[in-house]
Chains A and B, each alone.
Chain A
């Protein structure tokens, strides 16, 4: 995937830096240049994280409090008042308070799913790439089976069988997410296994645990970081899509996707009720995508 980097011309961005041995060995960039798009991405992520962390203290309105006199109020600046700066939904609940409540669900959920899928995917990818043979065959078969079941389809099966819960949506996200790691890590492990310094470490008598833990995994760290950032954005998209369709978290849990679904029903009279949560989801995706692109350019040597 090529980097989208508005501030730096692509040729300049891809020019290989003069590498310090250790930085080069670990695949980490040794120089961090200023990048406008990365600054936007990181700012978006920082703003959303702040919203989730200190949002309730800063904006103490409860997300379930109904203001029935002010149903579907427009945002401030679009005919609304500062009492509800982002407007209200069809039950008169404050949109800003619900965006904050949704951030406290969506962000941790996507980070947890990204981490869990990363552990599963990296483990299977390293096993397949390092061992080869039948282990590789089984992992490749599993990943092809997974790719034949899109995440919405998997979520439909899980919801039809077990109903709605955090555990179920986490299961869907992890089962969907591990393949992206496993495929890339498998190829990279295959390449690294042949490296001269791996050969040297083996000749020095390093056991498999030492070989993998001390020599292989540190060299995969940069790739995993890039994949994880990109996957975190995908997880936000998956989770909000499932919540929108009613396949995600049910009941009283506030999610951005659920807010957009509620807003969709009122789209003819109050378009902002759907537009605001959608814009928040897009901002989160943009934050993760820009940051992931930036890491990917820096990580390339």
Chain B
């Protein structure tokens, strides 16, 4: 288990290095990071002064080494518009996004889990049909549109909840609902499929023959085995969830890191964008590593397989 942990950590650092390199390649090699800073029509010597002050007159390999060594530690310099370290500006907004993402994943597990088990308990029943229809719609309706419709119904027509992201518990409910729909639908389908498969296994027939109650077979025997793929999937959803959070934050003007990043694009605040990418990647890697460790803890067979090669399970 310790070996697995070390292996996973090593792999996470390697992936983070990859993310940092991609960021450098896009923003410093392919693009011009100072395009938003140099005023149009500035004389060449002013432009050269600005470039020199940001170290952009040095050879590319030197710039890359400098950028990578600082970026791996989270140092992206000062935000151009806020005049303070870019990482601090992102971290300040992080709790709001974490609250949104955690509430959304909790909702997704609760609703998706319930619908998945209910559908698998009686395949072909109206319950099953209803749950599958809900899952189909949940996967087809874009989060930004669902968010807009939720605002319309709950904030405008019913006046129950605030339309835009106010600080406080009420402001997070509608964004979390919009964000939870897709992962809830996907989890429902995954859990239903693996439950139906598990319920056909021999040991379930044995449990039934022993005269165990339907409820006990369903929850204690089948769900326990069917939950593992669902758990692995939930870990891999971290990336999708954070990407979706950016969209939902845009819809609701919610004060998280996604809204900050969208503002940073508009003002071309490059250090802030870089710090944002870094924080998101670190969060995804953290959640994936954790999900991998929990899965290995539940199922010992995964330990050997995962230790053989560090990558996340496909």
Contact = CB atoms under 8 A, between A and B. Distances in A.
Interface residues of A, number: 59
Given A153-B277, A162-B31, A144 B26 contact: no
Contacts of B192: 2
A228 interface: no
Given A156-B262, A285-B142, A9 B27 contact: no
A275 B146 CA distance: 10
Nearest to A283: B140
A271 B129 contact: no
Given A156-B262, A156-B265, A286-B140, A1 B277 contact: no
A149 B22 contact: yes
A278 B139 contact: no
A289 B141 CA distance: 11
Contacts of B88: none
A289 B139 contact: yes
Given A142-B18, A145-B19, A289 B277 contact: no
A150 B240 contact: yes
B162 interface: no
B173 interface: no
A195 B145 CA distance: 47
Contacts of A162: 30-31
B16 interface: yes
Interface stretch (A24-32, A108-116, A238-246): A238-246
Interface string A238-265: 0011001111000000000100110110
Interface string B221-251: 0000000000000001001101110110011
Q: Chain A interface mostly helix, strand, loop or mixed?
A: helix
B311 interface: yes
B11 interface: yes
A220 interface: no
A156 B30 CA distance: 15
Given A145-B22, A148-B15, A278 B142 contact: yes
Given A2-B192, A141-B15, A144-B311, A245 B247 contact: yes
Interface string A200-238: 000000000000000000000000000000000100010
A137 B262 CA distance: 34
A282 B140 contact: yes
B144 interface: yes
B246 A156 contact: yes
Given A1-B193, A4-B136, A285-B142, A149 B19 contact: yes
Given A156-B273, A286-B136, A145 B15 contact: yes
B123 interface: yes
B277 A241 contact: no
Contact of B247 (A2, A6, A152): A152
Contacts of B196: 2, 10
B262 A6 contact: no
Contacts of A156: 246, 261-262, 264-265, 273, 276-277
B265 A247 contact: yes
Interface residues of B, number: 68
B187 to A, nearest CB: 12
B54 interface: no
Given A153-B246, A245-B250, A278-B142, A289 B136 contact: yes
Contacts of B244: 152
Given A149-B22, A289-B136, A281 B142 contact: yes
Contact of A160 (B16, B135, B142, B265): B265
Contacts of A143: 311
A143 B247 CA distance: 23
Contacts, number: 181
B182 to A, nearest CB: 9
Contact of A241 (B16, B144, B262, B264): B144
A285 B140 contact: yes
A290 B136 contact: yes
B189 A1 contact: yes
B277 A141 contact: no
Nearest to A286: B140
A49 B5 CA distance: 50
A137 to B, nearest CB: 8
A45 to B, nearest CB: 13
B243 A144 contact: no
Contacts of B270: 160-161
A268 B163 CA distance: 11
Task: Give the 8 A-B residue pairs with the shortest CB-CB distance, closest first.
Answer: A150-B243, A2-B193, A161-B31, A278-B145, A145-B18, A285-B140, A148-B281, A286-B140
Interface of B: 11, 14-16, 18-19, 22-23, 26-27, 30-33, 123-124, 129, 132-133, 135-137, 139-145, 148-149, 151-152, 156, 189-190, 192-193, 196, 236, 239-240, 242-244, 246-247, 250-251, 258, 261-262, 264-265, 268, 270, 273, 276-277, 280-281, 284-285, 288, 309, 311-312, 314
30 contacts: A1-B189, A2-B192, A4-B189, A141-B18, A142-B18, A144-B311, A148-B15, A148-B18, A148-B281, A148-B284, A150-B243, A150-B284, A152-B246, A153-B243, A153-B261, A156-B262, A156-B265, A161-B27, A241-B143, A244-B142, A245-B262, A260-B144, A260-B148, A264-B144, A264-B251, A267-B156, A274-B149, A277-B145, A285-B140, A286-B136
